[in-house]
Amino acid sequence: MGKITVETCEIEGLKVITPAVFGDNRGYFMETYHYEDYKEAGIDQIFVQDNQSSSVKGVLRGLHFQIKYPQDKLVRVIAGEVFDVAVDLRPGSATYGKWHGVILSAENKKQFFIPKNFAHGFLVLSDYAEFSYKCTDFYHPNDEGGILWSDPEIGVKWPIPEGMELVMSDKDKKWNGFSAFTSARSTSEA
């Protein structure tokens, strides 16, 4: 291995990856993904789709998850800086309903591996950011669920600077809280 450093998080399955960066007076080079290195680090997934988005400062996307077609995600920022969050939605998990956040930026080049059955979201901290991610299942337009970003039961501590105006989609403003998600899940499993 040696091309990546992997940090585990207090929530099992989440991993922060820092790739080796080789730089000189011309710039730098790094491998952003190498199947064998990731497999050795315990990330043995086959990614089938890559996505990229751009956002301006204050954009908050999430907290999203897929209902019938859950995806593992490997996310990174290629321009700017975001605060990235994953919330454990795995039934029976010791950390069910807990969250973990990490700063991802073009400068630190960190990646965040988020397994299936987590809600995911991010807040753009820089003037502009480009966000890139790999997924293990294809996008299904009618399969998206969400939890309200500000739900006090989950209690994500978003690093919102004083005076920052949040920019969100209408649907992200209207998601229900964690209790409604848990209640809906219990009903569907009964």
Residues 83, 123: Cα–Cα separation, whole Å: 5
Active site residue 64: yes
Active site residue 96: no
Show the CA angle centred on residue 170, arms to residues 69 and 162, nearest 5°: 110
Q: Which of 38, 100, 120, 133 is the catalytic position? A: 133
Residues 4, 115: Cα–Cα separation, whole Å: 18
Give residue 47's Cα distance to chain centre: 15
3-state DSSP assignment of residue 184? helix
List the structure tokens of 11: 């929530």
Intra-chain end-to-end CA distance of the chain, in Å: 45
Q: Which of 34, 35, 64, 96 is the catalytic position? A: 64
Q: Which residues are catalytic?
A: 64, 133
